C-alpha cells in the first residue's frame, strides 16, 4: 500500500443501509479502497456490495465489528464467503488465521488491548508495540490495524513506534476526521488509513456539499499527505537484457529516492542493482527465464507491490513478451502503476518515492 485512503461504508459499527448507492457515489469520486462490516445488511446484499467493488477494479475490506470470540470468527468466515481482499481488525489472530490461511485474504488484526463500543485502545505504548511485534511475526498476518486515535496517550508517537517496530504495513483506524490527523498518520509511516462516519457526516472541508465531494476532498488530502509519508514502498524492478544499462543508470540517478525502500527484482536485475548501488535494499527473485516475472505477477495479485518499473525493449522480439503482457494485465487489474520507460519511471519516482535520508526503520 502506498498510503491509501480506505473508505468505510459504515456508521455506528454497522454497514449503512444505502451502502450500494453510496458505493456508486464513492466510485464516481475516485475511491478505490472500500470497506464495510458484516452486520447492518443481509448477507446477499453484502455479497452484492463486495462483488460490485471487485467489478469496479477496487479493493474490498471487511472490518471486524465485535470483540467477542464468536462474533470475530463469524466475521472471518464472512470475509471468506464474501471473497473480500482484506480483513481488518479483531484480536484473536491465531484463531482467525486458522480460518483465513487457506484463502487469498490479507489479514490485519488489532495490536494491543481493544475494548468497548466504540472501541478504545488500552495499555501503554510499550505494551502495544510489543503486541504489534508478536502479531507481525505470525506467518498469516499480513499487516496491522492500529486504533491510533482511540489511544489516550501520545498518538503520533505511538504510530511512529508501531510502524518502526514491524516490517509489515500498518493501517490507522478510528476517529480520523481531519487533514491534520491524516498527515500525522502519513508522517508516522502508515500504509493507509480508514474513514467511515466522518466522511458520511461531512467532517472534511469540501468545495461543495454531498458525499461525492466529501470523498474527493479526502482523496485530495491523501495526495497531499502522501508527500509526507515515510512508509517504505515496495517497488519491482526488471528489464529486458538490452535495457538493463538504462535501468542501472536510472537506479543510480535515483539512489537517494530509492534508499530505505524495498526493491524486488528478478534475479539478474537484482544482482546488477546490488553491484551498482550496494546500499539499497534488494530482494532477488528467480531470473525472468526461470519464473521471476511470474513471481512479480503473484506479488501484484496479492497487493504486495506499490509500483513496477520494467524497462522493455520494443524493437526486438523477446521470449518473455508473454510474461510482460501478463504482468501488465495484472497491474491494470489490481490498479498498480507500471513504468516501461525511463521518463515514465521518473514520474513514478516523483509521485511514489520520497527521499528518506535519516529515517530510521
The answer on pLDDT for 318 being more than 70 is: no
Residue 182: how many other CB atoms lie within 10 Å: 25
Q: How many CA atoms lie within 13 A of 233 on its CB side?
A: 27
Contact in structure between 172 and 193 (CB atoms under 8 Å):
yes
Concatenated DSSP letters of 165-178: H-SS-EEE-S---S
Give the three-class secondary structure for 284: strand
Residue 35, φ and ψ in degrees, nearest 5? -130, 175
- Residue that has been written with the C-alpha cell 504482468 in this structure: 327
Q: What is the model's pLDDT at position 43?
A: 94
Give the CA distances from residue 53 to residues 20, 191, 203, 213, 223, in Å, rounded to whole numbers and listed in that order: 10, 21, 24, 19, 22
Find the mean pLDDT for residues 125-152.
96
Higher-pLDDT residue of 325, 176 = 176
Output the average pLDDT for the chain: 90
Active site residue 293: yes
pLDDT in tens, 220-279: 999 999 888 888 889 999 988 889 999 999 999 999 889 889 999 988 889 999 999 998
Mean pLDDT of 55-59: 91
Please, which residues have CB within 8 angstroms of residue 91's CB and are 6 or more apart in sequence?
67, 72, 109, 110, 114
pLDDT digits (tens, 9 = 90+) for 11-42: 888 899 999 999 999 999 999 999 999 889 99
What per-residue confidence (pLDDT) applies to 137? Answer: 96
pLDDT tens digits along 141-154 = 999 999 999 999 99
**How do residues 85-108 score in pLDDT, each as one tens digit?**
999 999 999 999 999 999 999 999
pLDDT score for 1: 57
* 66 confidence band (pLDDT: 50, 70, 90): confident
- From the candidates 293, 321, 323, 346, give the one annotated as an active-site residue: 293
Nearest to 207 by CA among 216, 195, 198: 216
Q: Is the pLDDT score of 287 beyond 90?
A: no
Most confident of 127-136, 271-280, 291-300: 127-136
Identify the band that residue 360 occupies on the pLDDT scale cut at 50, 70 and 90. very low
Lowest-pLDDT choice from 9-13, 206-210, 297-301, 316-320:
316-320
Q: Which residue has the higher pLDDT, 117 or 361?
A: 117
CA distance 185 to 293: 33
For residue 92, how many C-alpha atoms fall within 13 Å in the half-sphere facing its CB? 18
pLDDT of 359 reads 43
Q: What is the pLDDT of residue 357?
A: 39
Joined grid coordinates for residue 351? 509521485
How far, in Å, CA of 32 to CA of 267, rounded? 32
Domains of the chain: 4-226 (3.20.20.60), 234-352 (3.40.50.1380)
Amino acid at each position: 500500500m502506498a498510503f491509501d485512503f480506505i473508505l468505510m461504508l459504515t456508521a455506528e459499527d454497522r454497514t449503512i443501509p444505502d451502502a450500494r448507492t453510496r458505493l456508486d457515489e464513492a466510485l464516481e469520486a475516485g475511491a478505490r479502497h472500500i470497506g464495510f462490516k458484516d452486520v447492518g445488511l443481509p448477507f446477499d446484499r453484502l455479497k452484492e456490495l463486495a462483488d460490485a467493488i471487485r467489478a469496479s477494479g477496487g479493493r474490498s475490506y471487511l472490518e471486524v465489528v465485535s470483540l467477542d470470540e464468536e462474533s470475530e470468527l463469524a466475521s472471518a468466515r464472512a470475509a471468506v464467503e464474501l471473497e473480500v481482499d482484506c480483513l481488518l481488525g479483531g484480536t484473536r489472530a491465531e484463531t482467525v488465521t486458522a480460518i483465513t490461511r487457506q484463502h487469498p485474504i490479507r489479514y490485519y488484526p488489532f495490536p494491543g488491548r481493544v475494548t468497548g463500543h466504540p472501541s478504545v485502545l488500552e495499555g501503554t505504548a510499550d505494551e502495544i508495540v510489543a503486541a504489534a511485534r508478536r502479531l507481525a511475526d505470525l506467518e498469516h498476518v499480513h499487516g496491522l490495524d492500529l486504533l491510533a486515535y482511540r489511544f489516550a496517550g501520545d498518538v503520533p508517537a505511538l504510530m511512529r513506534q508501531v510502524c518502526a517496530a514491524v516490517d509489515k504495513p500498518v493501517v490507522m483506524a478510528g476517529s480520523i476526521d481531519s487533514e491534520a490527523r491524516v498527515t500525522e498518520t502519513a508522517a508516522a509511516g502508515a500504509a493507509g488509513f480508514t474513514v467511515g462516519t466522518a466522511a458520511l457526516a461531512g467532517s472534511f472541508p469540501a468545495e461543495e456539499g454531498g458525499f461525492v465531494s466529501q470523498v474527493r476532498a479526502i482523496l485530495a488530502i491523501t495526495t497531499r499527505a502522501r508527500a509526507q509519508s515515510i512508509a517504505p514502498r515496495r517497488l519491482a524492478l526488471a528489464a529486458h537484457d538490452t535495457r538493463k544499462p538504462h535501468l542501472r543508470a536510472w537506479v543510480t540517478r535515483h539512489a537517494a529516492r530509492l534508499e530505505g525502500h524495498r526493491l524486488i527484482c528478478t534475479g539478474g536485475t537484482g544482482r546488477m542493482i546490488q553491484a551498482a548501488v550496494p546500499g539499497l535494499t534488494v530482494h532477488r527473485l528467480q531470473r525472468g527465464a526461470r519464473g521471476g516475472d511470474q513471481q512479480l505477477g503473484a506479488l501484484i495479485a496479492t497487493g504486495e507491490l506499490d509500483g513496477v518499473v520494467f524497462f522493455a525493449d520494443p524493437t526486438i522480439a523477446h521470449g518473455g513478451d508473454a510474461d510482460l503482457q501478463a504482468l501488465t494485465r495484472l497491474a491494470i487489474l489490481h490498479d498498480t502503476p507500471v513504468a516501461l520507460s525511463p521518463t515514465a519511471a521518473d514520474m513514478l519516482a516523483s509521485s511514489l518515492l520520497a527521499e528518506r535520508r535519516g529515517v530510521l526503520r
